[in-house]
Structure 1
Amino acid sequence: MSILKEKLELLLKNLNEQLNIHQGFIENYGPQEKNLALVVAELTKNEEAPHRQRLNDELLRYGPIEPLLEDEEITEIIINSPNDIFIERLGHFSRHEDTFLSLPTFMSFVQRLQFESKIQADLKNPFIDGKWKCFRMHLALPPLVPNYPHLTLRRQKSCGWSLQDLQKREWADEFAFTSIHNLIQQSKNILIIGTTGSGKTSFLSACLKELPEKCRVVAIEDTDEITLPNRLSTKLLTRRDPAGHLPEITQEALLKQSLRMRPERLIMGEVRGQEAKDLLLTLSTGHRGSLATLHASSRAEALKRLEVLVQMGAPQWSLDTIRFLIFKGFDIIVTVDQIAGQRRLKEIAKISSLEREHFTFEVIWQRKERDEKQRVFSHNTIR
């Protein structure tokens, strides 16, 4: 690694002389990238092939994460500094063996990702979300994070997961998959819940693949993640303009627009704000076969959180009213989780009744296990 760093330092010095710009040139690589590529090729032509490739990756591509991009076993890449790169493979984090060779090339990499994602972070707007290649990207800038820009890249499967893909990965047993398929065909309204990284969006996309080719789906998202089932379907994305030049467009506004777009099934990428009020009003008036995700670790927590989100949009509503709308709006709660480092289905439950102060449930399928090798499933017949 030290040899490569020395070679890079010399290369940067030569580039500085040949291109007649300061060493920080690479942070504004856009207009000069073609000239830069030609000069780098000339300056590295006598290097050994592995060194030449690595220097090219550092200056012109994505540095140490270049070989990680096509490895679909890697689900998350976390970069906290030029020297601190971590990867999640099959549910477990480990430190990446390679690092960026210099601070200027690391900053160039950060700038390149923003340029390619058509987003820009700055001191006024230090947090941004976007989509880069097949990853969902989150970028945070100092001083709100320590010392260096922090990047989190979460992989999105290019063609989306299917239930068959999940079955091959032992996500659940055959009864669970049959139950899910039947619930989708019966046009049940399904709330998918789970914690961060549990696979809520992956499972949602898999459910959509069970729909008929001529089913019109309208999806609403903050970032472009959900894989649409067919060309008849479409999605609406929120807009947040940190610079303040354009008005913000929220999920609440998009939900109202989606109802004018003839959806057969309505999909909410994640319920996280006062749009919960309009979603429940829509679902409770007979809009069937819809799906949404919510960040929660259990069905009890999910329903409490849903109550709070609805109150944000309708503080004048009573809890009895909100609970009635939840009961009328959602039929099924599916809980997903990470178990022993693997994404797994945890539970399928039907909201069977609404009592005076609580909901009652019929558990259709439930995972009861001590570890991945000792699996115990329980299930009931779907009614």
Structure 2
Amino acid sequence: MGAALDEVEDVPHRGEVVLPGGFEAVEYASGVRRLRWRLREEIDLDEVERLPEPRRRPRLERVLGEIVNLEGPVLTAPERAALIRQVIDEEFGLGPLEPLLADRTVTAIMVNGARELFVERGGLLHRVSAAFSDDDTLLETIERITGQDVGRHRPTLGTRLAVGERVTITMPPVSAGPTLTIRRFRRSFTLDELVLAGAADAATVMLLGSLVRARLTLLVTGGPRSGTSTFLNAAGGLIPPGERVVTVEETAELRLAHDHVVALEGEDVGALAGVALGMRPDRLVIGEVRPRHARHVLETVADGMDGVLMAAHARGPGEALRRWESPGGVPAEAVWEAVDAVVHLERGRDGVRRIGHAAAVDHEARTLRTFTAFEPSDQGFVHSPLPRETTGRIEAAGESVPTPFA
């Protein structure tokens, strides 16, 4: 489902900070700043920071509670608890991001400056009432995440939280003010679960299992947010147990359900593919193969590494192959020899990400022969026979070809 912005502010979830009734965001932020200042007056924060978390937070809550009792503001019990929590989170944690990160229904957090926070839940964007006290507090949080100073000398930065969430930060002059985006990895799906979700059909999944076990090389393609990483991850579940798998990605996203996986991560996917070849892999699973990396990746495949699973961004099932062989790219014969089948994913008008086309490569004719296509009408997934070459390779490996493709 594509992300769309709700017109109505989201209902709070699981401890999300909500502004007390009658308080404006600026007034609330000012109150948080004042309480942080008063907290620093009352106790030695360096000493408190050395305490283990189970002892630190109760002590801070007790001190802040006494300050609020004496100096206000007058709040309900839930409002008071939320205010105290935000003060502590800003002083020692990630401020209003803490309850959002604790909410497993949140798949992305977008901070467009101190006063604008949005989250993604179920593919939809919602604005939340939580806010940072000011830009300085937001910058403090960003530096706490990155462990380094950020600013004009480095206006863009990509990093990760300790638990793996991807973080993208922009600063002036690239953006008008500091922004922070956190994307959480969605849980892994099996191909059977994708069938239940309408992303594939059982017959095609059975055939993909035969292709993978027969060690044919599979390319998964699709446009942005079409589900290529999700599908590639699920297809990795078809790799037989006992094989050593090495994954290669620019940014590690794959979470293969396999007992022997080594993950490599770096900007030069092509060079890493060559490194992976020296690690005695039974399988390579390669995230997005950009045209500039294609030569090294395909040379790795040509060096005798069969059964590779990889992905590429493309608008159609054959586009990635044509881009790889564009002028200055890889020779056409190397491209078409390296790949045996292509699964192309599309986002339908109904919002479902599914297989739009799946095709076998006719190596001699350098064309694709579609064996599964999704028809938006009542037909759904439509099947066609496999090319003789593909059928022969599957059967030679002792695997079977499902009836719709025979």
- The TM-score bracket by the shorter chain reads 0.7 to 0.9
1:255-294, CA deviations, whole angstroms, 9 ceiling, x for partnerless residues? 2221111111112222125331121122234421101111
Which residue identity does 1:259 align to in structure 2?
Answer: L
1:260-339 to 2 correspondence within 5 Å?
A: 260-308=278-326, 311=328, 322-339=331-348
Tell me which residue corresponds to 2:31.
7
Quick one: which of 124, 127, 149 aligns to 2:153? 124
**Bigger mean CA offset, 7-16 vs 217-226:** 7-16
Tell me which residue corresponds to 2:249.
221
Contact between 1:131 and 1:223, CA under 8 Å: does it hold in 2?
A: no
SS state of the match for residue 44, structure 1? helix
How much does 1:16 deviate?
Answer: 4.7
Quick one: which of 363, 377, 382 aligns to 2:381? 377
1:136-194, CA deviations, whole angstroms, 9 ceiling, x for partnerless residues? 2222222112222x223222146x33223323433222223223222222222111112
Q: 1:182 and 1:93, CA in 2 relative to 1: closer, same or farther beyond 3 A?
A: farther
Which residue identity does 1:369 align to in structure 2?
Answer: P
Instruction: Establish whether residue 193 from structure 1 lines up as the match of residue 221 from structure 2.
Output: yes
Q: Distance in 2 between matches of 1:230 and 1:194?
A: 24
| Corresponding pairs, count | 345
Tell me which residue corresponds to 2:375.
368
Equivalent pairs: percent with the same residue? 26
Contact between 1:217 and 1:264, CA under 8 Å: does it hold in 2?
A: yes
Which residue identity does 2:358 align to in structure 1?
Answer: I
How much does 1:375 deviate?
Answer: 7.2
Higher CA-based Rg:
2
Q: Distance in 2 between matches of 1:71 and 1:334?
A: 34
Q: Distance in 2 between matches of 1:15 and 1:68?
A: 24
Q: Distance in 1 between matches of 2:357 and 2:105?
A: 25
Instruction: Establish whether residue 144 from structure 1 lines up as the match of residue 174 from structure 2.
Output: yes
1:289-330, CA deviations, whole angstroms, 9 ceiling, x for partnerless residues? 10111121212322232224x835xxxx6xxxx211111100
**TM-score if structure 1 supplies the norm length?**
0.78
Instruction: Establish whether residue 41 from structure 1 lines up as the match of residue 71 from structure 2.
Output: no
Which residue identity does 2:110 align to in structure 1?
Answer: I
Contact between 2:249 and 2:264, CA under 8 Å: does it hold in 1?
A: yes
Unaligned stretches of 5+ residues in structure 1: 22-28, 240-249
Q: Distance in 1 between matches of 2:32 and 2:379?
A: 52
**TM-score if structure 2 supplies the norm length?**
0.74
Contact between 1:131 and 1:224, CA under 8 Å: does it hold in 2?
A: no
Which residue identity does 2:94 align to in structure 1?
Answer: Y
Which residue identity does 2:174 align to in structure 1?
Answer: L
SS state of the match for residue 88, structure 2? helix
Contact between 2:245 and 2:261, CA under 8 Å: does it hold in 1?
A: yes
Q: Distance in 2 between matches of 1:32 and 1:196?
A: 46
1:108-257 to 2 correspondence within 5 Å?
A: 108-115=140-147, 121-132=150-161, 133-148=163-178, 150-157=179-186, 160-238=188-266, 250-257=268-275
Contact between 1:228 and 1:234, CA under 8 Å: does it hold in 2?
A: no
Q: 1:144 and 1:60, CA in 2 relative to 1: closer, same or farther beyond 3 A?
A: same
How much does 1:11 deviate?
Answer: 0.7
Q: Distance in 2 between matches of 1:9 and 1:273?
A: 50
How much does 1:380 deviate?
Answer: 2.1
Which residue identity does 1:364 align to in structure 2?
Answer: F
1:69-108 to 2 correspondence within 5 Å?
A: 69-108=101-140
How much does 1:369 deviate?
Answer: 2.0
Q: 1:91 and 1:263, CA in 2 relative to 1: closer, same or farther beyond 3 A?
A: same
Q: Between Structure 1 and Structure 2, which shows a larger proportion of strand residues?
A: 1
Which residue identity does 2:170 align to in structure 1?
Answer: A
Contact between 1:129 and 1:223, CA under 8 Å: does it hold in 2?
A: no
Tell me which residue corresponds to 1:244.
none
Quick one: which of 248, 259, 272 aligns to 2:277? 259
SS state of the match for residue 267, structure 1? strand
How much does 1:10 deviate?
Answer: 1.7
Contact between 2:223 and 2:346, CA under 8 Å: does it hold in 1?
A: yes
Contact between 2:274 and 2:297, CA under 8 Å: does it hold in 1?
A: no
Q: Distance in 2 between matches of 1:62 and 1:165?
A: 35
SS state of the match for residue 191, structure 1? strand
Unaligned stretches of 5+ residues in structure 2: 1-18, 69-79, 392-406
